[in-house]
Chain A
Amino acid sequence: MIQFLQQLLNGLSLGAIYALIALGYTMVYGVLKFINFAHGDVYMIGAFAGMYITPYVWKILPQGADSSRFSWSTAGGAFAVLALSMAVCAVLGVVIERLVYRPLRERPRLTVLITAIGVSIFLEYFGQYLFGANPKLFPEILPDRVIEGLGDDLILSVNQVVVFAVTLLLLAVLCFIVLKTRIGTAMRALSYNPVAASLMGINNDVVIAFTFGLGSALAAAAAVLNAINYPAYSIDPFMGILPGIKAFVAAVLGGIGSLPGAVVGGLILGVLETMVVGYGSPMYRDAIAFAVLIAILLFKPNGLLGRAEKEKV
């Protein structure tokens, strides 16, 4: 039982990361009806951005010598790294959309898909060129501690709690943006009917760029939170492929285009994957996502919370 609880806990914190990436897929799908294949690589760039930003942040907010004690400077530093990585990726997302996807907006979906694959490969190999092929260690921006007194076998770390808390905070902010702000309303309008939206005076270009920026920022958040979650986290230019695909699966599982669906799908997938590793064979941990994807697309293609769409004849 304790072991099950432990797996569940680990699964949920992995799932939170997937959920944050999945939100980017689902939001972009909502407004553009296409799968941004390069999203996983934006996550990768987020990780590298965090790594390179950290030393500069530490110059301003020096880290205490005793890493086991809480200090405001450390927490502030971690928060600054998170915020700055998100900003870098938001800009990256907007730039990619502006340079590559916008000129293709009226083209066949296949053209856009191939381009997205091109962008994905470019980010991976250009990343390799810039950052080097060898894995790099992500700095420990928030030293970890185990929370005592939960019982002998159940391990919960402070950082796991932090990851949950920050994820919830980001979701709350996202909810606010989508439901309460003008731009969020415009996003929703666009996802229902882009033509009608533009006739109602919505500037589709701005909304789509904003959506890309928002989704990319969440991917960066996922990367930094993942680094906080796992001590001695190593990053490399190809690290985005698998989480990217898994988050996509999470988005499809929840119903692509649905924001709550992405969160639910991410959590389910995270737990499922952790369970397979814990009780089955770790060798199959990467295959489980695909098995889920294939099953869901064959039996419930609209996902758990998605709405059905039928081609008009």
Chain B
Amino acid sequence: MNRPKTCFLLFVALIAALAPFQSAINPYYFNILISIGINIILGVGLNLVTGYTGQFSLGHAGFMAVGAYLSGSVTVFLAPRWLPALGGGAAGETALFLLALIAGGLGAGLAGLAVGVPSLRLKGDYLAIVTLGFAEIIRVILQNMEIVGGPRGLSIPIRPTGLFGTYLAAALTVYVVVLLVHSTYGRGFLTVRDDEIAAEAMGINSTKYKVIAFVVAAFFAGIAGGLYAHFIQFITPEGFGYLKSVDIVVIVILGGMGNTPGVILAAILLTILPEGLRVMSGWEFLPDAVRGIVKNRMILYSLLLIILMLTRPQGLFSSGGKWTQKWRAMKRRGRA
């Protein structure tokens, strides 16, 4: 019965075993791998809010920004003093990194609480715009904070983000979201999405569920931001704007709302796709117009989004519940 826990531990063991070889990976692929991991965290986290709980948020990059800046600041301001005290070297760096990540996650979680409690009273379009507004406010505040570099950005001196850390965080996100949702307690998220009024009539505190979803997703977005900051080593408020939020939303929608494996696949696909498109834009045999469009991935993303909504609103990787139903029936027959 404890299959999920075993799976999780096995995966952690696997990445722990593979991690030592990361230096052998070509930096280009290493980049892509880390980006995939970060996008999985962001997508799966937002999926809890949008996919499972049905609350459309357009401000996820704002929480990522809080995490990135908070963890970045922890490193920038504490590294000179604490690194020697922690014994310097790799161990000290890892300890500081961990502290920075947790600070970033908790800070973003708090921001999620502060944003979620007032705005989750709103629905649909309004919620989308208000979350977008909060994210923009976060961005403007960061731009005005001279201590973290204002519009010029913040440089982070160390680069401890590696495969192990990133995929551990990704696995943790998947584990938390999947286990939360697959329990009688967690079915509350789905009922709130399906029909809030009926959920309340069944004794389910919809506000609590929405806020929990929001805070959990914000926490993981903060972790993702911390990983990102300690990977790219230079962050600006501009990098966490509206379009970054849209990027994350596209991952969730493409993967299929409320479909975690689909969202993971979408995160992988959408991280690789721009690279593929870049290669394609170099193909000389293609007409110039095509190459121009291919160069601009957002044209294709937006078309994909529109066409998907028109033809397959359940996402690219969802079978519309048919397979889950068959699977459930099979499991039942097996048990009987």
Contacts and interface: CB of A to CB of B under 8 A. Distances in A.
A129 B132 contact: no
B310 A293 contact: no
- Most chain B beta-carbon neighbours within 10 Å: one of A110, A113, A283, A284: A110
A164 interface: no
Contacts of A283: 140, 143-144
Contacts of B13: none
A239 interface: no
Contacts of A297: 119, 122, 126, 130
B125 A34 contact: yes
Interface string A278-309: 00010110110111011001100100000000
Interface in B125-164: 125-126, 128-130, 132-134, 136-137, 140-141, 143-144
B129 A248 contact: yes
A35 interface: yes
B204 to A, nearest CB: 16
B140 A125 contact: no
28 contacts: A35-B125, A35-B129, A100-B310, A107-B313, A108-B313, A111-B313, A112-B309, A113-B125, A114-B56, A115-B306, A115-B309, A115-B310, A121-B243, A122-B299, A125-B298, A125-B299, A252-B126, A283-B140, A284-B140, A284-B144, A286-B136, A287-B136, A287-B137, A289-B133, A290-B136, A293-B130, A297-B119, A298-B121
Nearest to A123: B302
A110 B128 CA distance: 10
Given A113-B128, A129-B293, A290-B136, 11 more contacts: A34-B125, A103-B310, A117-B249, A118-B303, A118-B305, A248-B129, A284-B144, A290-B134, A294-B133, A294-B134, A297-B119
A272 interface: no
Which of B124, B246, B306 has most chain A Cβ within 10 Å? B306
A160 to B, nearest CB: 28
Interface size grouping (class) on chain B = 35 or more
A280 B292 CA distance: 43
A293 B292 contact: no
Given A122-B302, A290-B137, A294-B118, A109 B125 contact: yes
B136 A114 contact: no
Given A110-B124, A119-B306, A125 B249 contact: no
Contact of B122 (A115, A120, A301): A301
B305 A115 contact: yes
The interface residues of chain A, by DSSP majority, are classed as helix
Contacts of B231: none
A95 interface: no
